[in-house]
Amino acid sequence: MIKQQKYHHSITENGNIQIRLVTEYLKDGKLIDKKYGDPYTPADTKDMTGWDDRSKDIVAAITDLPIQADFGMEKKNKPHPHEITKVGIEEAISYDRVIEEDGKIAVRRITRIFDEGVEVSKKYHRSWIMPGQPTNGADVMSKAVAEKLHTQEVIDAYKAKIAEQIK
């Protein structure tokens, strides 16, 4: 039996990276079990010394100043839950994302309805951005991460993986 450790990356509704250490236990090359550590957001995303390249690339994408400005504009157009006025019926839309090992980005749109500040409905819609897929219509953070991570190498590896699965 062997154990290997990997990072699991996600981006919160507020646009922060969350990293979990994942420990996988393998026997004869097959996954037996997997344990996830607690989510962690680096204290200083300006100093990512000691982190893996993927974590650094994600942080570079989501902390880019034009992306931050666009994210702020997107939040104004689609208020987040903590920005509701608590007057009348309001809708708040936010997104969170999980970046999978093969480059797929799972995007979860969260739509909440509030009545006088009380959440009365919460619905999820999941979509994916596959390596090589256009990012038209994606939210700002998801688009930024896809553009940073979906290099030609990642796209080619993803296509090869899919082709192998079809055989």
* 89-137 confidence digits (pLDDT tens): 999 999 999 999 999 999 999 999 999 999 999 999 999 999 999 999 9
Q: What percent of the chain has pLDDT over 90?
A: 86
Kindly report which listed range (40-54, 79-93, 112-126) carries the lowest average pLDDT score.
Answer: 79-93
Instruction: Note the pLDDT tens digit of each residue in 1-20.
Output: 999 999 999 999 989 999 99
What angle do helix axes 140-149 and 53-63 make, rounded to 10 degrees?
A: 140
Domain boundaries, the chain: 51-166
For residue 82, name the pLDDT band (cuts at 50, 70, 90): confident
Nearest CA among 9, 8, 14, 7 for reference residue 139: 14
Distance of CA 36 to the CA centre of its chain: 16
Whether the per-residue pLDDT at 77 is higher than 90: the answer is no
